[in-house]
Amino acid sequence: MEQQLETLWKEVRELSLGTSVEVERLNSPPSSLRFLRDFVSANKPCIISDATLHWPAISLWSDDKYLRGALSGSSVSVHLTPDGRADALVPHPEDSSLCFASAHVCRMPFSEALDLISSDKGKGKGKGNGKGNGVVAYCQEQNDCFRNEYSVLAGDCEAHIPWATEALGCLPEAVNLWIGNSLSHTSFHKDHYENLYVVVSGLKHFLLLPPTDVHRLYIHHYPAASYSYSPDTQELILELEKPPRYVPWCSVDPYPSPDSVHHEISKFPLYFNGPKPFECTLRPGEILYLPSMWFHHVSQSPDGRGRTIAVNYWYDMQFDIKYAYFKFLQSIHHPLYGPTLSQSEDKDPLSVLSCSERTDRSNTASGAYEAKEKDSKEA
C-alpha cells in the first residue's frame, strides 16, 4: 500500500494539478461556468489577479484614521498568544511532548487592538510555552465576524464574490476579517468550505497540499490546551483542558529551525521527501480560491504600518463522492505514518474538532452553518 499511495501523490499532479509548485493564475475573474468546471469540480486552487482592486477597502483601510473612526464604538475579538502560534502544536506544559494550543480570546475596543498589533508589546517575546513576556495579537474570529463585529465596514467590500456565488449556487455562510502582524501564522490544517481568500494589505504566503496527501502530514491526536492571560503580570499561561480532550492535528512544521531540521526530516519523511507543496504569495487585490479539504499553511508579511489585512468568504462545500473518497483514503494505513485516525483510541467525535470547526455555536452565521459544523467534526 505504501507504493500505491506514493503513486497516487504523483499521478494526481501529473493528471490534474500540474507538476509545477506554482498555483495557476488568472488575469481576470473567470466566468461562473469556467470557475465551476476548471477549478471547483476539479478541486484545484487558483489565484485571480486584479479581482478586488475596485474595492474601497483597498485604499481606505490603509488609513488608520479611517479605520479607527469607522470602528470607534466597536469592541472586537482579539486572539492572544506568546508567539503567534494559535491553533498549533506547542510544547506540553507538563512534560516533553506536544499539545494543541488555542489562543486566549478577549474583547477590546478596536483602537486598542490595532495599537497592540502594531506596538512592540504586540510583537511577542515568548517561546510558545506560556512562560514568556509579551503577546502577539491577532484580530480574527472564525464565526462570520466581518458581518457582525465589523459590519460598519461592509460597504468597503463586496458582500459576496458574484461569479463564485453563481458557480456554487449559494451565498457565503461566513465572511471573516483577519488583521495581524508578521508573527501571526497558521499551521497546516484543512477546512470543510470552499474558501475565497482576499488580501487587502500586506502579503499572505500559502503552502498547499491536496487532500490526497493526507498521510504526508501525520495527523495525530494531541491533548487540547489554551492560553489564559493575566492583565496584572501581562503573561500568557498555557493550561490543559479539563476534562481532557484530544484534537486531531497535522504534526508537520514545514519550516523547522536549523537545529531541528534533520530531526524533523527523519521524523516526517513522507512530507519532506515527497512532492513539494504548492506555493503562492497573495497580494492586495488578489483572490485565492482554496478548495475544500486542501491542507494549507499560512504566514504573512506586513505592509508599511506593520499589519496584514485580509477577508475570506466561506462557501458551503458539497459532501459528495469526493468527500467519501477522502474519508476512505484517510482510513488507509501507511507504514511510515503510524495509526490512522480511524485506529485511534479516541472514538468520541465530540472530542476531535479541528480549530476551524470549533466555532461557538451561539455565534454561527446561520442554522445551516451550525448543521454543517455538526457534519464535519472529524478533521
Tell me how far apart the alpha carbons of residues 324 and 51 are, in angstroms, rounded to a whole number: 33
Q: 157: buried, middle or exposed (CB in 10 Å: 19+, 13-18, 0-12)? A: buried
H or E element: which one contains 89? strand 88-91
Per-residue model confidence as pLDDT tens digits over 144-183: 999 999 999 999 999 999 999 999 999 999 999 999 999 9
Asked if 89 and 189 count as a contact pair (C-beta separation under 8 A), the reply is no
Cβ neighbours of residue 244 closer than 8 Å, sequence gap 6 or more:
223, 224
Q: Give yes or no for residue 348 having a pLDDT over 50.
A: no
Tell me how far apart the alpha carbons of residues 190 and 354 are, in angstroms, rounded to a whole number: 8
For residue 133, the model assigns a pLDDT of 54
Q: Residues, the chain, total?
A: 379
Query: Nearest CA to 337 among 224, 278, 210, 252?
Result: 252
Conformation bin of residue 202: beta by default, left when phi > 0, alpha when psi is -120 to 50: left
Tell me how far apart the alpha carbons of residues 122 and 226 are, in angstroms, rounded to a whole number: 19
Could you tell me the three cell numbers for 160? 459576496
Asked if 204 and 298 count as a contact pair (C-beta separation under 8 A), the reply is yes
Side chain identity at residue 255, one-letter code? Y
SS3 88: strand
Per-residue model confidence as pLDDT tens digits over 260-316: 999 999 999 999 999 999 999 999 999 999 999 999 999 999 999 999 999 999 999
For residue 118, the model assigns a pLDDT of 87
Query: Nearest CA to 330 among 319, 321, 339?
Result: 339
Question: What are the chain's domains?
Answer: 2-375 (2.60.120.10)
pTM for this entry:
0.87
Tell me how far apart the alpha carbons of residues 157 and 147 are, in angstroms, rounded to a whole number: 11
Per-residue model confidence as pLDDT tens digits over 45-84: 999 999 999 999 999 999 999 999 999 989 999 999 999 9
Asked if 204 and 281 count as a contact pair (C-beta separation under 8 A), the reply is yes
Quick one: pLDDT band at residue 334, thresholds 50, 70, 90? Answer: confident
Say which residue, 352 or 215, is predicted with more confidence: 215
